[in-house]
Amino acid sequence: MSDKLLNTAEAARFLRVSQASVRRWSDSGLLYARRVGRRRERRFREADLTIFLSQGSPSPAPTRLNTAAGVFIEGTYVAVHNHLATFYNSDESRLRLTIPFLREGLVSGQPCFLIAEGEVLDAYLQALRGRDGIDIDAAIRDQKFITAPRPGTSVKGALHFWESVLTRALAAGPTLLRAVGEMSSARKGFASDDQMIDFEVAFNTISKRLPVVALCQYDVREFSGETIFKAMRAHPDLYPLGIANFLN
């Protein structure tokens, strides 16, 4: 099959739908698209379009995502497309929200992502190995659980990392994606705390396009009060849910 890249109009003709439908499915993560050029225009492979057709019509889009409408985090309902910050001040409280969040995703077959390294990563893996109903080593092997020490070394690089891994995970079909970022690990990839916060602000555009719930974990022992304040401001999805629910 040809690897020719089609633009949005050509993809719409291939699928026999409107260009608006193609753009909507692409923005929601249902249909994989590459971004090319300075204008970041969409390009689609014929092979991907054929796979998309074989999975059946995605209209209406909410029906395809009805099993991924949201999650519960410590009794708080969090809808898809939410990008939240959590704050903790001990090694034990680091895992209070995130381990149940990741376990439930793995049990449901939803791809999970974790930014962490060293002893922090080890603590996550040890905690997940002790949870019934999941085989974390198999999940890692099958790329249902993907870890990285940091997303990149610049705002652009970190955004590209998340855009790539999240859209790749959607290639098998629409699902909810779960991401946890230990910001003390992610911070090492940026030149400053302010650059890290710039990335956090920019990530909101990705979380609104792709079916993800993301938890950015801040160890308040590692960051200044000013950075914690900026982190709160960078996560406006946190406000209507009540910040007290995400203090550990």
127-150 pLDDT per residue, tens: 999 888 899 999 999 999 999 999
pLDDT band at 55 (very low <50, low <70, confident <90, very high): low
Q: Give the mean pLDDT of the chain.
A: 88
Q: Could you tell me if 182 and 196 are in contact, meaning their C-beta atoms sit under 8 angstroms apart?
A: no
pLDDT band at 64 (very low <50, low <70, confident <90, very high): very low
Residue 71 scores a pLDDT above 60:
yes
Mean pLDDT (whole number) for 92-100: 96
Q: Are residues 126 and 166 in the same domain?
A: yes
SS3 assignment, position 78 = strand
Q: Are residues 43 and 90 in the same domain?
A: no
| Domain stops at, among 38, 64, 90 | 64
Phi, psi of 56 (to 5 degrees): 95, 165
C-alpha span between 70 and 9 (Å, rounded):
32
Share of the chain above pLDDT 70, in %: 92
> How does 215-228 read in b/e, with b if 16+ C-beta sit within 10 Å?
bbbbbbeebeeebb
Q: Are residues 52 and 144 in the same domain?
A: no
Q: Are residues 128 and 39 in the same domain?
A: no
Return the sign of the alpha-carbon dihedral for residues 190, 191, 194, 198: negative
User: What is residue 21's predicted lDDT score, i.e. its pLDDT?
Assistant: 77
pLDDT band at 65 (very low <50, low <70, confident <90, very high): very low
User: What is residue 59's predicted lDDT score, i.e. its pLDDT?
Assistant: 42
User: What is residue 22's predicted lDDT score, i.e. its pLDDT?
Assistant: 82
Q: Are residues 140 and 239 in the same domain?
A: yes
Q: Could you tell me if 51 and 159 are in contact, meaning their C-beta atoms sit under 8 angstroms apart?
A: no
Residue 163 scores a pLDDT above 50:
yes
Q: Are residues 231 and 111 in the same domain?
A: yes
Return the minimum-mean-pLDDT range out of 27-31, 174-178, 190-194: 27-31
Residue 43 scores a pLDDT above 80:
yes
Return the minimum-mean-pLDDT range out of 8-22, 44-58, 74-88: 44-58
Q: Are residues 138 and 211 in the same domain?
A: yes
CATH number at residue 83: 3.40.50.300
Q: Are residues 55 and 77 in the same domain?
A: no
CATH number at residue 30: 1.10.1660.10
| Domain stops at, among 64, 82, 100 | 64
Share of the chain above pLDDT 90, in %: 65
User: What is residue 37's predicted lDDT score, i.e. its pLDDT?
Assistant: 82
Q: Are residues 26 and 93 in the same domain?
A: no
pLDDT band at 49 (very low <50, low <70, confident <90, very high): confident
Our count of domains for the chain comes to 2
Q: Are residues 59 and 85 in the same domain?
A: no
Range of the domain at 84: 66-246
> How does 147-159 read in b/e, with b if 16+ C-beta sit within 10 Å?
bbebbbeebeebb
Residue 151 is given by DSSP the state: S
Residue 1 scores a pLDDT above 70:
no
Q: Are residues 30 and 151 in the same domain?
A: no
User: What is residue 12's predicted lDDT score, i.e. its pLDDT?
Assistant: 84
Q: Are residues 85 and 39 in the same domain?
A: no
| Domain stops at, among 29, 47, 64 | 64
